[in-house]
Amino acid sequence: MLVCIPQVLDAGQLVSVRARLDRANAWVDGRVTAGYQGAPVKFNHQIDERSEVAVECQRIVVGALETNPLFISAVLPNTIYPPMFNRYGEGMKFGPHVDGSVRINPHTGSKLRTDVSATLFLTNPSEYDGGELEIEDTYGRHTVKLNAGDMVVYPATSLHQVTPITRGVRTACFFWVQSLIRDETQRAVLHQMDDAIQRLNQTNADEIARRSLIGCYHNMVRIWSET
Provide the 10 A C-beta neighbour count for residue 128. 19
Mean pLDDT of 117-139: 96
190-201: pLDDT as tens digits: 999 999 999 999
Q: Which amino acid is at 46?
A: Q
What's the confidence (pLDDT) of residue 30?
Answer: 87
CA distance 49 to 217: 37
The Cα–Cα gap between 206 and 132 comes to 44
Per-residue pLDDT, averaged over 84-92, amounts to 97
The pLDDT value given to residue 199? 93
pLDDT of residue 227: 72
* Mean pLDDT confidence for 144-159: 97
Question: So what's the pLDDT on residue 33?
Answer: 82
* String of DSSP letters for 123-164: S-GGGEEE--EEEEETTEEEEE-PPTT-EEEEETTSEEEEPP
Helix axis angle for 52-65 and 11-22, nearest 10°, is 160
Q: Is residue 114 domain-shared with residue 164, that is, in the same domain?
A: yes
Let me know how many helices (H) and strands (E) the chain has, helices first: 5, 17
CA 195/CA 191 separation, integer angstroms: 6
Q: Please check the confidence at residue 36 and state whether its pLDDT lies above 80.
A: no
Q: Do 175 and 190 belong together in one domain?
A: no
Q: What is the pLDDT of residue 80?
A: 98
pLDDT of the residue at 213:
96
Q: Judging by beta carbons within 10 Å of its beta carbon (0-12, 13-18, 19+), is residue 100 exposed, middle or buried?
A: middle
What distance in Å separates the CA atoms of residue 227 and residue 222, rounded to the nearest whole number?
9
**Per-residue confidence band for 92, with pLDDT thresholds at 50, 70 and 90:** very high
pLDDT tier at 205, thresholds 50, 70, 90: confident
The interaxial angle of helices 207-224 and 184-202, nearest 10 deg, is: 160
On whether the CB atoms of residues 71 and 77 are closer than 8 A, the answer is yes
| pLDDT for res 3 | 97
What confidence score (pLDDT) does residue 60 get? 98
Answer yes or no: do 104 and 210 share one domain.
no
Q: What are the Cα distances from residue 174, in Å, to 82, 177, 198, 207?
A: 9, 10, 28, 40
Choosing from 179, 194, 211, the residue where a domain stops is: 179
How much is the pLDDT for 177? 98
| Cα angle 214-112-195, degrees, rounded to a multiple of 5 | 20
CATH number assigned to the domain comprising residue 49: 2.60.120.620
Report the domain count for the chain.
2
172 shares its domain with 203: no
140 and 199, same domain (yes or no): no
90 and 157 share a domain?
A: yes
* One domain for residues 149 and 192: no
What pLDDT is stored for residue 39 in this prediction?
76
* Spatial distance between the Cα atoms of 146 and 202, rounded to a whole number of angstroms: 28
Domain endpoint, select from 158, 179, 200: 179
Q: For residues 123 and 169, is the Cβ–Cβ distance under 8 A?
A: yes
148 and 189 fall within a common domain: no
What average pLDDT score do residues 92-97 get?
96
Residues 115 and 203 in one domain: no
Write out the residue range of the structural domain in which residue 42 sits: 3-179
The answer to whether residues 128 and 210 belong to one domain is: no
Average pLDDT over residues 8-18: 98
Q: Assign residue 208 the CATH number of its domain.
A: 4.10.860
Residues 162 and 196 in one domain: no
Q: How confident is the model at residue 32 (pLDDT cuts 50, 70, 90)?
A: confident
Closest among 124, 130, 154, 156 to 142, alpha carbons compared: 154
> Do 18 and 115 reside in the same domain of the chain?
yes
